Chain A
Amino acid sequence: MLTTKVMLTGNEAVARGAWEAGVGLGIGYPGTPSTEILEALSLKDGPEVCWAVNEKVALEEAYGAAVGGLRAIVTMKHVGLNVAADPLFITAYLGVNGGLVIAAADDPGMHSSQNEQDNRWYALHAKVPMLEPADSEECLRFTKLAFELSERYDVPILLRLVTRTSHAGGLVLLNEEMKYSRIKRDYVPSPRYVTLPGNSRARKKVLERNLAAIVEDESVQTLDLMEITSPEVGIITSGASYNYVKEVFGDSCSVLKLGLVYPLNVNRIREFAGMVRELVVVEELDPYLENNIKAMGIRCEGKKYITSFYELNPQIVAASLANTTLNIPFPSAGSRAEPAAPGPLPGVPARPALLCAGCPHRGFFYMAKKAKLMMTGDIGCYSLGAMPPLEAFEASICMGGGYTMAQGLSLTVPEGQKVFGVMGDSTFFHSGITGALEGIYNGRAFVPVVLDNRITAMTGHQQNPGTGRMMNGAPTLMQEPAVLFKAMGYDPVMQVGAYDLDAIRSAIQTAKMASGKAAIVVKAPCRLIRGVEGGSRRAVHQNQCQDCRLCLRLGCPAISLGEDGKPVIDALSCFGCGICQQVCRHESIYEVAEVRS
Chain B
Amino acid sequence: MIRETRTIMLDGVGGQGIIMASKILIDGLIQADYDVKSSEVHGMAQRGGSVITQLRYGDRVYSSLVGEGAVDVLFAMEKLEAMRYAHFLKKDGLLLMNEMEIPPASVLTGESSYPGDINERLGALPVKFFPIAAEAKARELGNVRVMNVIMAGALIKLIGLADDLDWSAVVTAAVKPQYKELNLEAFRSGMELVRHSRPQVLVCNR
Q: B206: which A residues are within 8 A, CB to CB?
A: 332-334
B2-49 interface with A by 8 A CB criterion: 4-5, 13, 26, 30, 35-49
Contacts A112-B42, A350-B104, A353-B49; A169 near B26 (Cβ below 8 A): yes
Q: Please, which residue of chain B has its CB at the minimum distance from the CB of A10?
A: B64
Q: B104: which A residues are within 8 A, CB to CB?
A: 349-352
Q: Please, which residue of chain B has its CB at the minimum distance from the CB of A32?
A: B43
Whole-angstrom distance from the CB of A364 to the nearest CB of chain B?
Answer: 17
CA distance A348 to B110 in the complex (A): 15
CA distance A349 to B93 in the complex (A): 24
> In the bound complex, do residue B67 and residue A348 qualify as a contact, i.e. CB atoms below 8 Å apart?
no
Q: Please, which residue of chain B has its CB at the minimum distance from the CB of A316?
A: B67
> In the bound complex, do residue B109 and residue A348 qualify as a contact, i.e. CB atoms below 8 Å apart?
no
**Interface residues of B, count at CB 8 A:** 60
- CB < 8 Å: which of A243, A338, A343 contacts B63? A243
> In the bound complex, do residue B47 and residue A355 qualify as a contact, i.e. CB atoms below 8 Å apart?
yes
Q: B49: which A residues are within 8 A, CB to CB?
A: 351-354
Any A CB within 8 A of the CB of B139 = no
Any A CB within 8 A of the CB of B68 = yes
B99-128 interface with A by 8 A CB criterion: 103-110, 112-115, 121, 125-127
Q: A343: which B residues are within 8 A, CB to CB?
A: 68, 87
> In the bound complex, do residue A163 and residue B80 qualify as a contact, i.e. CB atoms below 8 Å apart?
no
Q: Please, which residue of chain A has its CB at the minimum distance from the CB of B47?
A: A353
Any A CB within 8 A of the CB of B173 = no
Whole-angstrom distance from the CB of B137 to the nearest CB of chain A?
Answer: 18
> In the bound complex, do residue A244 and residue B63 qualify as a contact, i.e. CB atoms below 8 Å apart?
yes
Whole-angstrom distance from the CB of B90 to the nearest CB of chain A?
Answer: 5
> In the bound complex, do residue A348 and residue B80 qualify as a contact, i.e. CB atoms below 8 Å apart?
yes
Contact with B along A343-363 (1 / 0, CB 8 A): 111011111111110000000
Any A CB within 8 A of the CB of B69 = yes
Interface residue tally on A, bucketed by range: 35 or more
Q: A6: which B residues are within 8 A, CB to CB?
A: 30
Q: A111: which B residues are within 8 A, CB to CB?
A: 41-45
- CB < 8 Å: which of A170, A171, A315, A552 contacts B67? A315
> In the bound complex, do residue A334 and residue B4 qualify as a contact, i.e. CB atoms below 8 Å apart?
yes
Any A CB within 8 A of the CB of B168 = no
Contact with A along B53-71 (1 / 0, CB 8 A): 0000000001111111110
Which of A5, A337, A344 has its CB near the most chain B CB atoms (within 10 A)?
A337
> In the bound complex, do residue B109 and residue A389 qualify as a contact, i.e. CB atoms below 8 Å apart?
yes
Q: A557: which B residues are within 8 A, CB to CB?
A: 48, 105, 108
Contacts A339-B91, A341-B125, A347-B115; A112 near B43 (Cβ below 8 A): yes
Whole-angstrom distance from the CB of A572 to the nearest CB of chain B?
Answer: 9
Any A CB within 8 A of the CB of B150 = no
B69-99 interface with A by 8 A CB criterion: 69-70, 80-81, 83-84, 86-87, 89-93
Any B CB within 8 A of the CB of A210 = no
Whole-angstrom distance from the CB of A462 to the nearest CB of chain B?
Answer: 13
Q: Please, which residue of chain A has its CB at the minimum distance from the CB of B144?
A: A572
Whole-angstrom distance from the CB of B57 to the nearest CB of chain A?
Answer: 10
CA distance A345 to B86 in the complex (A): 8
CA distance A356 to B64 in the complex (A): 30
> In the bound complex, do residue B48 and residue A353 qualify as a contact, i.e. CB atoms below 8 Å apart?
yes
Any A CB within 8 A of the CB of B50 = yes
- CB < 8 Å: which of A112, A244, A337, A561 contacts B108? A561
Any B CB within 8 A of the CB of A26 = no
Contacts A315-B69, A337-B205; A348 near B44 (Cβ below 8 A): no
A427-476 interface with B by 8 A CB criterion: 458-460
> In the bound complex, do residue B86 and residue A340 qualify as a contact, i.e. CB atoms below 8 Å apart?
yes
CA distance A6 to B38 in the complex (A): 13
> In the bound complex, do residue A344 and residue B87 qualify as a contact, i.e. CB atoms below 8 Å apart?
yes
CA distance A503 to B46 in the complex (A): 30
> In the bound complex, do residue A334 and residue B47 qualify as a contact, i.e. CB atoms below 8 Å apart?
no
Q: B46: which A residues are within 8 A, CB to CB?
A: 353, 460
Other contacts beyond A6-B30, A354-B47, A552-B110: 5, CB < 8 A: A335-B66, A340-B87, A340-B90, A340-B91, A384-B47
Chain A residues engaging chain B, CB cutoff 8 angstroms: 5-7, 32-33, 111-112, 135, 163-164, 167-171, 240, 242-244, 246-247, 313-316, 332-335, 337-345, 347-356, 381, 384, 389, 458-460, 552, 555, 557, 559-561
Could you name 23 residue pairs across A and B whose Cβ atoms are closer than 8 Å?
A: A5-B30, A32-B43, A112-B44, A135-B64, A163-B41, A167-B39, A168-B38, A240-B63, A247-B5, A247-B62, A247-B66, A334-B205, A334-B206, A335-B70, A337-B70, A340-B69, A343-B68, A345-B121, A348-B84, A349-B106, A459-B43, A460-B46, A560-B108
